[in-house]
Amino acid sequence: MPTLTPALLRHHAGAKSYWRGLTYKDAVVELAVRSRHVDGVVRGADEYRVTLAWEGTHLTGECSCPYGSQGFFCKHCVAVGLVLLERGLTVPPPDAEDAELRARLAELDHATLVELLYDRAARDRSLRDEVMRVRG
């Protein structure tokens, strides 16, 4: 599993976005490390929502800003990553136990769970096949 570092952030963002991200660290107004990703909010011309996660060994960044919406790893992603590092935090691995999700699913009633799973499995053939193989 790769480690979150300033060099990795610079690699994903490129030099220009990385240096601009350095100036946006103080604009990070919300930061939440979730079970398998990090959510952040960065205040710029607007409030931009950022998500950092690992896809395998590849760090991904999503942002609601115009540049990030085009699929680029933007200065807002860099700022969130740098604030994480300053706080001694990191992006959790993709296979981490998602205790938050497990707890929420445990709260839902049976009929709601069936509907949620049905909706996903009806559109995802591999999930449907997996459900059909499970013996309960």
Instruction: Note the Cα 81 to chain centre separation in Å.
Output: 11
Q: Counting beta carbons within 10 angstroms of the beta carbon of residue 130, is it exposed (0 to 12), middle (13 to 18) or buried (19 or more)?
A: exposed
pLDDT at 35 (0 to 100): 85
H-helix or E-strand spanning residue 48: strand 47-55
What letter does residue 87 receive in the DSSP assignment?
T
User: Which region holds residue 124: left if phi is over 0, alpha if psi is between -120 and 50, else beta?
Assistant: beta
pLDDT at 1 (0 to 100): 65
pLDDT at 125 (0 to 100): 86
pLDDT at 34 (0 to 100): 92
Give the mean pLDDT per block of 10 residues along the chain (136 residues). Answer: 91 97 97 94 95 94 96 97 97 80 84 86 84 84
Determine contact, residues 89/29, Cβ cutoff 8 Å: no
